[in-house]
Amino acid sequence: MAEVTTGNEVPQNMTIYINNLNEKIKLEELKKSLHAVFSQFGKILEVQAYKTLKHKGQAWVVFEGVSSATNALRQMQGFPFYDKPMRIQYAKTKSDVIAKADGSFVPRERRKRHEDKAGKKKKEQHDANQAGMGLNPAYAGAYGAMPPLSQIPYPGGVKSMVPEAPAPPNNILMVETKPGIAFVEYGDEMQSTAAMQALQGFKITQQNPMLITYAKK
């Protein structure tokens, strides 16, 4: 299960999400203790907790009814459990046991394939957008697809690190077979000369100063 969002975005449901739990308690003891504490509010279908680092200090308690979950959330909010106050919210993700009961269950492997397919579709759309802007989506430099020069990441953060040239270029052509080389086209020779003088020797990184010459016709 995933963590929940804050505020009133998550509707009432049969599963509560608990965090700020004492991470020193053994997993099985934690689950048994949670079951004992929350069973006073109604029938519990499942208590989930995991050993993974990502899920430490968290658990999910699945009730048979929404009213039981609501009462548990209201009455146990902040309750000191193993010397730490519990933080409780409705779970954002429906538990497997509930999904199986209402017929909406999707096996995790099928879910993963669906997510991979969605990710692939998103990448294809991104490449199409890049091509539409005149960029070659197949080119990937040290920092991925070509960004504006003023926003190239470098050690220390992302900032406007390139000095302003006298005029913006008309076009930038990256050489796919020769990473590190590019042709920058300006409106006229005066603009290209001014840009070359302004940017000659500028260091994109500490070890990589720009070397600029006129392109051979």
pTM of the model: 0.45
At residue 130, the pLDDT reads 52
Per-residue pLDDT of the chain (217 residues; tens, 9 = 90+): 444 444 457 899 999 999 999 999 999 999 999 999 999 999 999 999 998 888 899 999 999 999 999 999 999 999 999 999 999 999 987 766 666 655 554 665 554 555 566 666 666 666 665 555 444 554 444 334 444 444 444 444 433 444 555 667 777 777 667 677 888 888 888 888 888 888 888 766 667 787 888 887 6
Contact 202, 209 (CB under 8 A): yes
Residue 2 CB contacts under 8 Å (≥ 6 apart), including other chains: 92, 93
CA-to-CA distance for 137 and 144, rounded, in angstroms?
Answer: 10
CA-to-CA distance for 129 and 111, rounded, in angstroms?
Answer: 27
At residue 181, the pLDDT reads 80
Distances (CA, A) of 118 to 121, 144, 182: 5, 21, 33
Characterise 168 by phi-psi region: left (phi > 0), alpha (psi -120 to 50), beta (else): beta
CA-to-CA distance for 75 and 77, rounded, in angstroms?
Answer: 6
At residue 12, the pLDDT reads 92
At residue 4, the pLDDT reads 43
- How many C-beta atoms surround the C-beta of residue 61 within 10 A? 30
